[in-house]
């Protein structure tokens, strides 16, 4: 079955966001542009890893002098708005790819759906006609910096950590291993 690649080059908006309350949130990447919006679900740790790897990629590009990379996102690109509603999940992300397009000075981010059939794996950022659906965005370095800043805020907005064990605190407290299983 031919795969569907949702391409945004560049998107009008590319953000990480959540639906739900801390402790019961679903994380999404959402890209929009040209009158369409695509949302894909992923895990909190995937959002954090994407932000970290984007940061590392931009630092490497800047260090090598391979492109114009700002140290911080321009203020006008700061995005604090909620996800565009309705949030309709196209797929759940299994694999992500990240690259620098030196010809266009763009970061390429790709999120892949799970592989449906056994057989050859499709590499992220490949232009294969068969394979899992994908969300692919091409971002300027400024847009990538803005994405990183928002993704870090979204991840940090979860439940506060227990001061003793660093596990997330529920509103009702939690069974703390450092307190021999007593509620904190």
In a domain, 179, yes or no: no
User: Whole-number mean pLDDT of the chain?
Assistant: 89
CATH number at residue 55: 3.30.2450
- Mean pLDDT for the stretch of residues 3-18: 95
pLDDT-derived band at 119 (thresholds 50, 70, 90) equals low
User: Which of helix, strand or coil describes residue 63?
Assistant: helix
Q: Give how far Cα 42 sits from Cα of 17, 77, 94, 111, 142, Å.
A: 10, 23, 8, 9, 23
Mean pLDDT, rounded, for 107-121: 83
Kindly state whether residue 87 falls inside one of the protein's structural domains.
yes
Q: In this model, does residue 110 exceed pLDDT 90?
A: yes
Ranking 25-39, 129-143, 158-172 by mean pLDDT, the lowest is 158-172
State how many domains the chain has.
1
In a domain, 134, yes or no: yes
Q: What are phi and psi of 114, to 5 degrees?
A: -60, 150
Question: Is the residue at 96 inside a domain?
Answer: yes
Q: Is the pLDDT of residue 184 over 70?
A: no
Could you give the CA distance from residue 18 to residue 41 in angstroms, rounded to a whole number?
9
Residue 65 domain-assigned (yes or no): yes
Whether 121 is covered by a domain: the verdict is yes
Q: Is residue 178 part of a domain?
A: no
Domain boundaries, position 93: 5-159
172 within some domain: no
Range with the poorest average pLDDT among 10-24, 35-49, 61-75, 130-144: 61-75
Higher confidence at residue 16 or residue 67? 16
């Amino acid at each position: 079955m031919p795969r569907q690649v949702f391409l945004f080059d560049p998107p009008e908006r590319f953000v990480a966001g959540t639906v739900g309350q801390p402790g019961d949130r679903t994380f999404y990447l959402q890209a929009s542009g040209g009158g369409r919006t695509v949302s894909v679900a992923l895990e909190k740790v995937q959002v954090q890893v994407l932000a970290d790897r984007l940061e590392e990629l931009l630092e490497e590009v800047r260090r090598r002098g391979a492109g114009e990379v700002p140290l911080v996102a321009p203020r006008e690109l700061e995005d604090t708005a909620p996800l565009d509603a309705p949030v309709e999940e196209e797929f759940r992300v299994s694999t992500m790819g990240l690259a620098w397009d030196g010809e266009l000075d763009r970061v390429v981010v790709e999120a892949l759906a799970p592989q449906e059939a056994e057989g050859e794996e499709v590499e992220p950022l490949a232009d294969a006609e068969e394979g899992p659906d994908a969300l692919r965005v091409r971002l300027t370095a400024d847009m990538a910096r803005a994405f990183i800043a928002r993704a870090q805020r979204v991840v940090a907005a979860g439940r506060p950590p227990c001061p003793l064990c660093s596990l997330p605190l529920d509103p009702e407290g939690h069974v703390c291993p450092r307190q021999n299983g007593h509620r904190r």
